[in-house]
Structure 1
Amino acid sequence: MKWPLEFRHPLFVAMAGLYALFFYNRRWGHWELPAVLNAHLADVLALPLLLTVALWFMRRLYFRQPAFVLPFSWVASTWLLLAVCFEGVLPLLKPAATADPLDVVAYAVGGLVFWRWLNHPA
């Protein structure tokens, strides 16, 4: 079985592999990473990975058009939703969570990476 085209994009594969390594390191590896990577790597990778899955879903199951691309308003609203939920609401509900304005910037960088390099017709 062949993977869908969206999931075979070299940038998506690299980002998913990087996220998997980062997740492994956080749980079991405990290798020393630079503070910036440790704090913001997952946030930068969140939107490209999430939006690529959403793009696949919309192409295959909703619009059924391989040429469909996510409008910029969808990318921006996903960024806003993640920022509000994880940096605004979650710290109010869970004392262990902290709000970090740089995470909002990291989400925006990830959204721009998706918009520029991953959001193209199949």
Structure 2
Amino acid sequence: MLKAFRPVFWVCVGLFLVHQLLQKGLGIDVPFFHAYLDPFLSIPVMLGLLTVERRYLFDRGRLTVLETVISTVFLAVIFEFFFPRWSDAFTADPYDYIAYGLGGLVFYFFVNPRPRAATP
């Protein structure tokens, strides 16, 4: 199961965990990372999990460009529009959309599994 994920996926997960440990566990706050690292990393991690689910359930893991864009926009709108309206614990930040978009690019080019070469 662990081999189902590409190395960049694990880098994103590791960065997320280290960031949370530093921020919440040790009280070390780097404002730029505090503001934008979670939105940036959320897309490669969440869409990486989606590709593994699709691979095992439907034998189709790779997301197309359109699926990646739609998924990224959908998650960004949920996180930046709806969550702040549901809870004061969330703050809308228009610059987060840039972080989500960059995370979508990282996902598509580095996490999204490549099509398997056809064997003769």
Cα displacement (A) at 1:41: 0.4
Which blocks of at least 5 consecutive residues in structure 1 are unaligned? none
Moved over 6 A (4+): none
Q: Kindly provide the CA deviation profile for residues 48-90 of structure 1, in whole angstroms up to 9, marking residues without a partner as x.
A: 011111111111122x25xx41011211111111121111122
- The CA distance in 1 between the partners of 2:56 and 2:17, in whole Å, is 25
| Residue 121 (structure 1) aligns with | 115
| Residue 33 (structure 2) aligns with | 37
Cα displacement (A) at 1:100: 0.3
Superposed, 1:1-122 pairs within 5 Å as 3-6=2-5, 9-33=6-30, 35-62=31-58, 64-65=59-60, 68-119=61-112, 120-121=114-115
Identity level (%) = 29
**Aligned pair in 2 of structure 1 residues 70, 95: CA closer, same or farther (>3 Å)?**
same
Aligned length: 115
Q: Which amino acid aligns with 1:109?
A: L
- The CA distance in 1 between the partners of 2:86 and 2:75, in whole Å, is 15
Find the residue that maps to 1:99 and give its secondary structure.
Answer: coil
- The CA distance in 1 between the partners of 2:108 and 2:2, in whole Å, is 21
Q: Which amino acid aligns with 2:4?
A: L
For normalisation by structure 2, the TM-score amounts to 0.85
Q: Is the 8 A contact 2:68 2:104 kept in 1?
A: yes
- The CA distance in 2 between the partners of 1:89 and 1:13, in whole Å, is 28
Q: Which amino acid aligns with 1:95?
A: D
Superposed CA RMSD in Å reads 1.7
Cα displacement (A) at 1:44: 0.4
For normalisation by structure 1, the TM-score amounts to 0.84
Q: Is the 8 A contact 2:43 2:100 kept in 1?
A: yes
Q: Is the 8 A contact 2:23 2:29 kept in 1?
A: no
